[in-house]
A = this chain, B = another copy of it.
Amino acid sequence: MKVSIVGATGYTGEELLRILAGHPQAEIIHITSESRTGAAIAGIYPHLNSFYQHTLDSLQDLDKIAAASDAVFIGLPHGHAMAAGKILAEAGVKVIDLGADYRFRDSKVYEQWYKVPHVHADAGAVYGLTELYREQVKAAAIVGNPGCYTTASILALAPLVKRGLIELNSVIIDAKSGVSGAGRGLSLNSHFTEMFENLKAYNVGGHRHTPEIEQALTDFAGQPLTISFTPHLIPMARGILSTCYASLKAGVTPEAVDEAFQALYGGEYFVRLLGRGAYPATKQTRGSNFCDLGWHIDERTGRVIVLSAIDNLVKGAAGQAVQNFNVMFGLDERTGLLQAPLYP
C-alpha cells in the first residue's frame, strides 16, 4: 500500500513515522510540512535516522500526492485538514484525519466548539474509534480519528452505557495527560521548567473533547447525555489516565458490570481488561496501542469508577490511525502494532 503523510512535523506525524517504519505493508511515498519543506526527515527527527531518507514535500503538491497514494494520513491543524481531505477524497484516496475535522456527524456541533465553518460536511466520514465502530470503518472513505482523551474515556464508559447500567447524567470524567498532548508548539505551559514537578487542570468544562465523548456515548445510550470533563497536565511526556465516575442504577450488581466489559471487549486485542479492583498504569501501555481498563464499585456511594490508561500518541492518535488504516484495507488490524509496551 502506498501511503503519504500530510503535515508530519507535529508529534502525531512523528509518531506515525515511528510506527509505519515497522509496518510491513505500508510504503511511505510523500511526507509534507509547510514549515520545513525541503528538509530531510532525519535532520528534524534524528531518532528516525536510518529509517527514512525522505525530504519533506509541500501541500502545494497535493494533487501529485493524491495520484501517488492509496491512503493519506492528515496531521494538519483543524480547519485545514478538511480542505485537504476534500481534495484527496475527490481523487479517490482513502483518508485518515488525525485532527477534529471529521469527528462529528453533526457539523453544527463542530462549528460551535471549533469556531470554523465546516467545508466538507457531506464527506460521509466515519468516527474511527476502531473497537466500537469497526464495521463502519471497514467501509469508510474518510475516517475521523478520535482524540486522545476521548479514546480513553469512551472505551471506559461504553460498556456501562450500552448495557444501561448507569445514570446517564451522572458521568464525570477526570482525565490526566502527559505534556506531549499539548503538542510540539512552544508555550509557557509546555516549558520544561514550568511544568516539571507541577500539576494543574485546564479548560474545565470547556475542553473540545467533551462533545466528542458525548456524541459517542449518546450513540450507545440511544439518548442524549451531558458529561463533566476535566483535563489535567501531568509532568510526564506520554500517557493518559482517565478516571470515570458514574452512579450505578439501583440493583446493578458488580458481576453485571464485569459482564458488560467482557461482552464488549472479551475478543479485543488492544483492549486489555485488567479486571475489577485493578489499577491500570500509563507506563504499562507506553509506546503501545493498548488501552488497559480496570473498574471499581464504591458500595458506600453506589458509584462505579472506571480507570482507563493509554499512550496518548499511540492508541490516542497515531496507533489507532494505523489500526483504522489496517481495517480500511482489509489487513490484520494488528499489523505494525505488535510492539510490547516500553516499561520501565
Contacts and interface: CB of A to CB of B under 8 A. Distances in A.
Given A11-B344, A339-B22, A47 B285 contact: yes
Interface string A320-344: 0000000000000000001111111
A281 B47 CA distance: 9
Given A191-B191, A204-B296, A234-B234, A239 B279 contact: no
Contact of A187 (B186, B200, B284, B296): B186
A305 interface: yes
Contact of A284 (B46, B172, B340): B46
Copy number in the complex reads: 4
A230 interface: yes
A115 to B, nearest CB: 17
B193 A179 contact: yes
Nearest to A229: B298
Interface in A184-243: 184, 186-188, 190-202, 204-205, 226-228, 230, 232, 234-239, 241, 243
A118 interface: no
Contact of A230 (B228, B305, B338, B344): B305
Contacts of A49: 272, 274, 284
Given A174-B245, A205-B300, 17 more contacts: A14-B343, A18-B342, A50-B272, A172-B303, A176-B234, A178-B199, A190-B192, A196-B196, A197-B236, A200-B241, A200-B279, A200-B281, A200-B307, A201-B305, A205-B301, A228-B303, A245-B245
Interface of A: 11, 14, 17-18, 21-22, 45-51, 169, 172, 174, 176, 178-180, 182, 184, 186-188, 190-202, 204-205, 226-228, 230, 232, 234-239, 241, 243, 245, 269, 272, 274, 279-288, 290, 292, 296-301, 303, 305, 307, 309, 338-344
Closest 7 CB pairs of A and B: A205-B298, A198-B283, A47-B284, A174-B174, A186-B186, A200-B281, A47-B341
